[in-house]
Chain A
Amino acid sequence: MTAFWQDPITFLRLWLENLLLSWGVSERWVLLIRYAVGAILLATAALLFVILQLWLERKLIGRLQDRLGPNRVGPWGLLQPIADVLKIFTKEHITPAGADRVPFNLAPVLSVAAALMVWAVIPFSATVFGADLNVGILYLLAVGAVGEIAIILAGWGSNNKYALLGALRTVAQLISYSVPMTLSALVPVMFSGSLNLNAITRAQEVWFIVLAPLPALIFFVASVAEVGRAPFDLPEAESELVAGYSVEYSGLKFGFFYVAEFLKAFTVSLIFAVLFLGGWRGPGAEAYPVLGFVYLFLKSGAVYLLMILFRGTLPRFRIDQVMDLNWKVFTPLALILLMVIALVDYFLRGGLPLVRVLVLLGVNTLAYIVLDRLLSSRERVRRQPVAQPVRPVARPENLINPTETGVAS
């Protein structure tokens, strides 16, 4: 019997099951109840976590911009997001004229649902996970598709050309960045031999980011673009493009689009931590599953902080730069890396782990150097002088002493 402090969730679950069984509830209903309770708790916890995330982000962005974040409502502004949520609850739901009712109302719900559904398969610790799906990674990618449909519904249902255009642009960006994301997610699958997220976590004796830093980088940047966060947030730029797919939404429906964005941001940090940073692994995580939780959240928190740092420091990309980066840099790079890693890892099979780590790191570094050379040579080619050669300036000395071009005095 696990003690409470070792593994609180499993302890509570076993307690509940025993209680229900002792009341005479049949096995199948116990399972159903356990699933339902687990699902509701997890979904609610995720949504409540977003509130904490909102506060953290606003504080940190504020600090990055050399100002204090919210600090009036509650100590250090901790109650600010709660105040915002309460406010948005009371705003009117304006439905634009001629809007298609079902898509219009379904879109924010599906958007949040798509982000939440990912939490069902993530292994939170050695014993706590939602569904031990044997196609875990593909499920993560497929749920992104639901999010894209939600955006199309939003753009279409708003009966507004700009919303539709914004929605299609956003979806074009999202589907483009799905390609390098799907391709570089193949690397953890190759290393661990399974699509199951639990198996991938357990296979990370050495974190996969060490074995394959470049695919990890591609995956990370592609997921930042998938979420639509800075520097890839042109389609939803708050201060630029006249619209974005959520322009006709008000009240809590708009609030949910906002929540969906933040939830997606944390979810992709969670995914990255599971796939490349070893998930819940850490010293003592097997014996004390509670530590697994802590490690996972620390790791995904670190990744999320990196995303906030991106947002606070990098300028926004133009849409053609975004697409160029994806199709002309990331996709060929991901394909070539896959080929190289597949070949190299074959020869390292059965060798010493240290040798494997060093060789793979070396291959990745080599690939990075080649990439760097290629990109900078293209930069040099593209940098052409746009101005004409310097003409003589209209200054007294040029007029009194005419130059070779014969400027008249």
Chain B
Amino acid sequence: MLSTWLYVGIFTLVAVALPAIAIFLAGLLAPKKPNPIKEATYECGVETVGPTWTQLRVQYYLFALVFLIFDVESVLLYPWAVAYQQLPLFAIVEAIIFLAILLGGLFYAWRKGALNWQ
């Protein structure tokens, strides 16, 4: 099993190195004429006012939160799905209860308006 992960590790290194080398080569080939006007932050042609920060809405945080809950739920379900073909009916009903509880949570979030983009 470790050798498969070794391949994954090597592949990751290659996958990171290839674009990095290409960008490096392009950096060598391309002209370099830094110029404060060119490097000014783009804001539809208007000068930037104030430092860079963005007042984020709570909405993004709620989406990330609901995603986290469902991500953890799916991860708990994957071992069950692997064992699915050998499981008795009771075990399947257990998983259905698990899913139903979370479906209920989703409906709660829906009713509360946590899922509206606004």
Contact = CB atoms under 8 A, between A and B. Distances in A.
Chains A and B touch each other in the complex, with CB atoms below 8 Å apart? yes
Interface of A: 31-32, 35-36, 38-40, 42-44, 47, 88-98, 105, 108-110, 112-113, 116-117, 119-121, 130-134, 137-139, 158-162, 164-165, 168, 172, 175-176, 178-179, 182-183, 186, 189-190, 193-195, 242-243, 247-248, 251-253, 256, 319-320, 323-324, 327-328, 331-332, 335-336, 338-339, 342-343, 345-346, 349
Q: Is the interface of A mostly helix, strand, loop or mixed?
A: helix
A31 B3 contact: yes
A256 B42 contact: no
Contacts of A96: 39-42
B113 to A, nearest CB: 11
Contacts of A323: 63, 115-117
B15 A131 contact: no
A336 B67 CA distance: 17
Contact of A331 (B13, B30, B106): B106
Given A160-B43, A342-B84, A43 B7 contact: no
B32 to A, nearest CB: 7
Given A186-B78, A189-B82, A335-B106, A172 B12 contact: no
Given A189-B81, A251-B30, A346-B89, A113 B63 contact: no
Nearest to B107: A332
Contact of A44 (B12, B18, B89, B106): B18
B26 A251 contact: yes
Contacts, number: 223
A44 B23 CA distance: 15
Contact of B42 (A39, A195, A243): A243
Contact of A117 (B15, B26, B31): B15
B58 interface: no
B4 A131 contact: yes
B115 A328 contact: yes
A39 B11 contact: yes
5 contacts: A93-B32, A172-B63, A186-B78, A193-B83, A331-B106
Interface residues of B, number: 73
Interface string B73-117: 011011001111110010010011001101100110110000111
Given A190-B81, A339-B99, A121 B67 contact: no
Given A90-B29, A172-B64, A327-B115, A109 B16 contact: yes
A256 B22 CA distance: 9
A103 to B, nearest CB: 13
A92 B67 contact: no
Contact of A164 (B3, B15, B29, B54): B54
Contacts of B40: 96-97
A88 B77 CA distance: 45
Nearest to A105: B23
A109 B11 CA distance: 14
Contact of B30 (A89, A168, A190, A338): A89
A338 B78 CA distance: 12
A195 B78 contact: yes
B51 to A, nearest CB: 9
Contacts of A327: 66, 106, 109-110, 115
Given A47-B18, A190-B81, A252-B23, A182 B11 contact: no
B27 A95 contact: no
Nearest to B110: A328
Contacts of B11: 35, 39, 42-43, 116-117, 119-120, 130-131
Nearest to A88: B26
Nearest to B13: A39
Given A43-B14, A90-B29, A253 B39 contact: no
Contacts of B75: 138
A256 B16 CA distance: 12
A223 to B, nearest CB: 15
Contacts of A137: 78
A113 B66 contact: no
A320 B101 CA distance: 26
